Structure 1
Amino acid sequence: MIRVLLVDDEKEIREGLKKVFPWSDYGIDEVIAADDGDTALQIFRDMRPDILITDIKMNRMSGIECLKHLYNEGFPMGSSIVVSGYDDFDFVKQALQLGVMDYLLKPIRLDELKGVVQRAVDLVRAERLRRFNQDFLENNVKQAMPRIQEQLLQELIKKDNQNQLDSRIRHRLTSVNLDWLLESSVVLLLLEIDNMKAIEQSKRYKHEKELVLFATDNVIVQTLKEESQRQFTIFRDAKDRCVIMLEHTQGEDTTTSLQLAELLIERINKYVKVNVSIGTSAASDKFSKLAMIYNEALETLEHKVIYGGNRVLMTGEHGEDKEFAEIHLSELDALLDLVKYGSEQEIVQQMDEFPELVRTWSYTNIRDIQQKTFEWLLEFFKKASAAGYKDCWWEHNVIALWEQLEQYDTMESLQIQTTRYLMEVSRGFGQLSQSHNQILMTAEQYMKKNYADSLTLQSVAEQVYVTPVWLSKLFKKEKQNTFLEYLTDIRMEKSKDLLGDIRYKIYQISQLVGYKDPVHFAKLFKKTTGMTPKEYRNLRGIQDE
């Protein structure tokens, strides 16, 4: 549809042109008339006609003033035509400077008007075609952009780009709107759906792998948009793991990134109904090191074989145990282990976190805080009772418990009183519980017997009837080692024995000591002994295959 706006303060001229000229022959569907520049300006703003034909001199607002307004407001002048008398050439000159297509002299001759209108219609159609092609191209580029970005990023995580000034890489990142990676420090999160093969083979998800991946990506993007003000990009690696590159502010710790990772797991569990694990990397301020931090996150993610899935696995020295290193008062099972096995000093130190627990409840009224503390204590007492605590006075004195808590109307006094309750339970357990040494001895025996299995902190903790967080804490406290380090030491010692037996290939030994991936086994062996399995064999006089 092509629309024309005719502007002339003489009714006979504008109505005559509107009725006499064969507009439809030129593909023009609608002709609108205006009697002055003011009216024309408003019509132009509201209806955006394609072609403007206006007299230059009119009462009130003239045609040239109308054109100036339209020009200043950014409307295109290319298909505008002005009509003037012989003595209006200065106005015509101004109009041409504004970019109008042509002018006609009065009295208007139809043959001249036909030629000018045809040119204007051709310009309108050419501009529409140009915009269509541009929109088509931009839409194709927009649709292809994620794939182009993914291909480039997949290339960058395969190997380090030592030359940071590589103009080709810089240009490619800029061309796909990833230039922020050139200037920003980056944290990498590597997210993997747990037991994907089992999901693919199940009736529920059979033939729906792509749907699960698509839904997971949507949750990730939506969460990062809502919860983070930082720039990010996500893509899939060669094994369909989701790689998340997140802008990292200089000077900040990794807490924010870890909280985001935990939130991602929570939301994917809730909305996609699958379990996922996330391996993290340290921050890097060099885009040339993307491959390094990717491999770091990948190596960290591999620890889920040891610690179990559906969790955040952190990088760095002892990082794989970090999530189990601290007890939180909201985790009542772990708190119960502390009360059963910990010292009074440890309980008091843990209760220093009570104000932080209260903040998570989002209450400011002391009455609400007292009520929530009351509920929290009742839940803890129930767990203690189920674990063998005998003195269940609170079951018959719930009102008395509430009345006691009501007496304490400050955070400090509530903390002191709840600590007393925990101490009372701790003394009540007395000699009922195993000692630290008994727990660790049982755990060690189980690990030394079952080292070839896919042991996790969770599975071993279940064998000794404590929470993973408490078992992790015991290993660090009593052994000065993390659970993973201790398990690795057991496996490495066994692998040394097996490497002395010529009956076994190195890849077989890897399987026998609990590592499905021989490459990962070789890395751990070299990290522990300073040499590869093959070098170790050669040192013992055995020529490997």
Structure 2
Amino acid sequence: MIVDDEPLHIQGLLRHVDWRRLGYEVPFTAESGDDALAILDDKKIDVLITDVSMPGMTGIELLARCKSDFPHLQSLLTLMISGYDEFEFVQEAIHLGAKAYVLKPIKTEEIEEKLASFRTTIEKRDQIERETTLLKEKVTGSLDVVQDRFVNDLIEGRAHDGALMESWSRLLDLPLGVEHIRMFLIGYDRLDLAGAPDARRRILLADGLLKTVKIGLSGWEGTYIGKTGADEAAVLHLNAEPSDRARMEKQLQFVQEVIREQYDASVTIGVSRECYDWEEIPLLYKEIKHMMANARLGGGGRILYFDRVEAEDYQEYRLKEEDVPEIVRLLERGEGEKAIVRFNHAFDLLLTQKPVSYSYVQAFAMGLISELARKIGLEKQEDGDENILIWKRLIDCTGTEEIRDAVLEYMARFGRTNRREEPGLQHNLIRRIAEYIGDHLQDHMTVKQLAEQFHLNASYLSVLFKKETGRTISDFVQEARMNKAKDLLRDPNVKIYEVAEQVGFQTAAYFAYLFKKVTGTTPQEYRDYNDSTS
């Protein structure tokens, strides 16, 4: 809106400013502050252009009234027009929130420059408002997003922090005390997804699963639903009464039937044991996943209940596939204290079984020691007697704590041996890597690919290589290429472009550039010099 007590000034702005090109509608106009306030009260105005000096109500007073009487105009962008002798008034206008001013006589290009800047500000502000509104709708207008994040945080072990859990409790109005928790895991059988390679069907299946689970299993107090993968959803049920548990479990067949009828697919559903603490939920999830994976070997579309047999099966899997490799890895890295903590945790879990299986505890200890015996230095003949002694000691143990002590002693010896032999082993490893690099100079191998070749972490390999050789891997590769290039250049039958290819350069030009940078001569000059001295 343009406000000016001189009609000719208003008409000049209307006629000479290219409003449409700048992204504005044709402006409203007013010849006094009172007329302007009447329009501002009724219309949506983004930009106000007003003269400073007007009879009755000045532009300064108009701006002050906009700020005080119209809350919806707090984001109004104001451009003040003033004469040279009115600058003190402009300062006051800026204090009131005016965003720009121009001096008389007015230049059209100056007005358009200010309006273009205003337009950019308005667009950014509108974008922020839209995104903020959308976020509010997602978070507060629908609990689905909040529940989904809550369930995933619990499963991934991120919600155990006291302050974070307190925040979740306030947001979701969680019960004050958790007496028991049960998890339902619903996932498509892989057989069905194997026949659905296109993205459209995968999206349809993922969306259909979540909607069906929400319809079938929500509505009970204490249920929280989260999408844990494209083909899987988890439901947590807190403090459920026996009658609610029974009715909810009946709905599991409903979920399977709807998925089968609507999406021509089958789902397997796993029902967990009860747990009594938030911190057990990651383990709960792993147990059900393991149970469902085993069950699918015999076909999908089943409802499975986690029981004692399943618990023992998962415990055996976890000890073999997770705990033992992790304990060995920690010891090899020199993190003995962490290895002891992990071992004691796994050992204590075995002792929680009722009744405790002594033979199973003994088997776990032997499995760990067998894995350690295969590692660095302990397979040597001179260690054979000690290995026999530890086997005999384990067999002769009469209690679980004796077994624990024997394993901890062996772990300590492994740690000492590993530390003693580590420098030599590192030296041999880097030597083998250096030889491998020399044999594969033609290959454009990254540090990550090189690390994978030797089953190492890329960052660890870089640090170890620099420590052992005093050079980075890239510097070593460059030096090896230059040395091999020098050998090849001594043979006049090998063309220079062939030398470049054999040492891993895609172009002869770049090879020549780098060769001169490193040696001070071009490849041809180096060849000519060696020919003359031979």
TM-score by length of 1: 0.41
TM-score by length of 2: 0.41
